[in-house]
Amino acid sequence: MTNDEIAKAVVEIITDIVPDEDCSNLDPAAPLRDQLDLDSMDFLDIVMELRKRYGVEVPENDYPKLATLDSCVDYLAPKLAGVAAE
């Protein structure tokens, strides 16, 4: 997956998790939790959906690396290098 595809995939997951929020204009450098009503259970949903949709495992120690859209892309890029976009 390209970086753009990864960013798009993460936004799709977040849109499903917080369907009442507008996820169309997220600042990729700002923390997601500052821009969206995301609680800790929602965050676990992101981890679960990455596992279900892309087979990616995110260990608990790495959760802080999913703080912003940019950091998600940086963290997930090597893990999703050989994965085709959905």
Partner 1 sequence: MRSSERIVITGIGLTAPNGDDPAAFRRSLLAGRSGIEPWHIRYFGETIAGVCHFDPLKYQKRKEVRVGTRAGSVAVYCANEALRDAGVAWSGTDRSRVGVYLGITEHGNVETESEIHEIRQYDYDLRFWSHYHNPRTVANNPAGEVTLNLGITGPHYTLGGACAAGNLGVIQGFQQLVLGEVDLALAGGVSESIRTFGIFAGFQSQGALAAHPDPARASRPFDTARNGIVVAEGGCVFVLERLEAARRRGAPIYAEIAGFASNSDAADMVLPNAERQKECMELAIARAGLEPADIHLVSTHATGTPAGDIQECEAVRRLFGPECRRTYVNNTKSMIGHAMGAAGALELAGNLPSLQDRTVHPTINVDNLDPECELRNLVINHPQTVDGVDVILNNSFGMIGINSVLIVKRTES
CB of 50 to partner 1, least distance (A): 12
Answer whether 75's CB lies under 8 Å from 65's CB. Answer: yes
Name the residue with tokens 């893990």: 79
Our CB check for partner 1 shows the closer of 51 and 81 to be 51
- In this structure, is the dihedral angle defined by the CA atoms of residues 24, 26, 28 and 34, taken in order, positive or negative? negative
Report d(CA 86, CA 71) in Å as an integer.
21
x/- mask, partner 1, residues 18-57, rule CB under 8 A, reads xxx----------------x---x--xx--x--xx-----
Q: Which residues bind partner 1 (CB under 8 A)?
A: 17-20, 37, 41, 44-45, 48, 51-52
